[in-house]
Amino acid sequence: MEVIIVLIIVAVVGYLIYQSLPNTKFQKAQNLFNSKDYVQAIDILNTIFDKHNDAPAKLAECKLNLGKRASTKSEKVKFFNEVTEIRKRISKSESIAKLDHIEANALFEIAKIQYEETNGDIDKLNQNIKFIDTANKKGFESDFSSLKEKHFYDLASSHFKKATDKEKSNKYPDAIQVYKKAIECSEKSSNNSVKHNSIARIEICNLKQMSLEYN
């Protein structure tokens, strides 16, 4: 009888030890992740964050997916920002390498949301371009490049509108400078109509300015 009790105790202790192993916990978190139960997976991954090389990246992936399925932009940005904060907690280079691609995905999602909120505003567009330029783009280089091109397309249109307003106010030298900015931005995108129209408007502004000077 005593032998049986000892064997039961050993079995229970062994089971508890097994359940507490980082690999066991990570597999449990992976199963929860596969079931899209990201919140419970996050709870487990936080307990083995420094004990399993794959835990930080999987934690980031959980938060990334929570962000993608969030219903509001503010919620999305909150989760995506949490992904970018994970890097600060990592002490192992192996874990950082596994995180790069997921972090870049989160940064791309943030950049997309910020772009959607620019509404053609020149300052906001330029600010988001700076964000894109400094972002980790690992694995998302072409996505960031395409998004950046959209910014320049919008900038070309916004500068053109600003230039026409100055032209209407008879501020021809100022209008010419802004038309040149429109051309510069159009050359970094596929906004060819703005480029051609800006070139034509510059010539017209030059003629109008000459007319004023002669009069």
Over the stretch 172-181, which tens digit does the pLDDT of each residue have?
999 999 999 9
Residue 62: burial class (beta carbons within 10 Å; 0-12, 13-18, 19+): buried
6: pLDDT strictly greater than 60: no
Which 8-state DSSP code applies to residue 191?
-
pLDDT, position 17: 41
Q: List domains and CATH numbers for the chain.
A: 1-117 (1.25.40.10)
Q: Are 50 and 37 in contact (CB under 8 A)?
A: no
pLDDT in tens, 87-110: 999 887 778 888 999 999 999 999
Question: pTM for this one?
Answer: 0.86
pLDDT in tens, 120-174: 999 999 999 999 999 999 999 999 999 999 999 999 999 999 999 999 999 999 9
pLDDT in tens, 41-88: 999 999 999 999 999 999 999 999 999 999 999 999 999 999 999 999
Per-residue burial over 121-133, b if 16 or more Cβ lie within 10 Å, else e, is ebebbeebbeebe
Q: Are 109 and 146 in contact (CB under 8 A)?
A: no
What are phi and psi for residue 169, nearest 5 degrees?
-90, 10
Question: Dihedral, CA atoms, 205, 211, 214, 215, nearest 10 degrees?
Answer: -120
Of the pLDDT bands very low, low, confident and very high (cuts 50, 70, 90), residue 10 is: very low
Measure the CA–CA gap between 94 and 52, rounded to whole angstroms: 10
Measure the CA–CA gap between 38 and 23, rounded to whole angstroms: 18
pLDDT, position 114: 98
- Residues in the chain, total: 215
Q: Are 114 and 128 in contact (CB under 8 A)?
A: yes
